[in-house]
Structure formats: C-alpha cells, structure tokens
C-alpha cells in the first residue's frame, strides 16, 4: 500500500496496481511506470485477472520506479521487502 501525504493536510491511499484517484503527480508517475492496472468497476473480472497474471510479477518494480520518479529518491526495494528500511518523515515546510 502507498500512503501519499502531499503536504496539504490530506493523506491518500493507493493499493499496488491502483492510483490514489486524486489526479496527483504521484498518480501520473504510477501510470507512466505501468503501475496502474484495470479495476473491477472499470472492466470485467476476466480482464483484471488476465492483467495481473501477465504483468503482476513486475508490479512491485513499477511501483518503486514510479515512487522514485515522483520523489526523486532511490528506494531499495529489497530493503523495504525485508523490513530493513527505517521510517523517514521529510517535512515539506
């Protein structure tokens, strides 16, 4: 899951394969990286399942690429998956 807190007092949530629905810069980066897949409300179940079966293995890399592109940070995917990445709060003030 991604929590996007752009500094305007809001926090938006997106699961892997989805965007926040807020038309933000992060959403644009997720789409550009191929990290937003069709959803059930938009398409049929067969198309959603087929998309995840075909592209699901590369979804984490696409999400990390998008977040890195949006933030300008390089985030070690292996460290995150191993639970070894410390938390950091970057103040936008």
Q: What is the pLDDT of residues 18-30, one digit of tens each?
A: 999 999 999 999 9
In a domain, 87, yes or no: no
Backbone angles phi, psi at 36, to 5 degrees: -120, 120
In a domain, 56, yes or no: yes
| Helix, strand, coil distribution of the chain in percent, nearest 5 | 45, 10, 50
Confidence class for position 70, pLDDT limits 50, 70, 90: very high
In a domain, 26, yes or no: yes
pLDDT exceeds cutoff 60 at 85? yes
Q: Which pLDDT belongs to residue 32?
A: 95
In a domain, 92, yes or no: no
Confidence class for position 53, pLDDT limits 50, 70, 90: very high
In a domain, 75, yes or no: yes
Question: How many structural domains does the chain have?
Answer: 1
Q: Which residues constitute the domain of residue 59?
A: 2-81
The whole-angstrom separation of Cα 3 and Cα 89 is 12
């Amino acid at each position: 899951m991604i929590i996007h807190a752009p500094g305007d007092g809001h926090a938006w949530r997106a699961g892997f394969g989805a965007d926040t629905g807020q038309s933000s810069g992060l959403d644009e980066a997720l789409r550009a990286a191929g990290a937003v897949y069709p959803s059930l409300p938009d398409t049929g179940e067969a198309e959603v399942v087929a998309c995840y079966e075909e592209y699901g293995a590369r979804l984490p890399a696409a999400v990390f690429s998008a977040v890195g592109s949006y933030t300008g940070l390089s985030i070690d995917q292996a460290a995150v998956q191993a639970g070894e990445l410390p938390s950091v709060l970057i103040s936008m003030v």
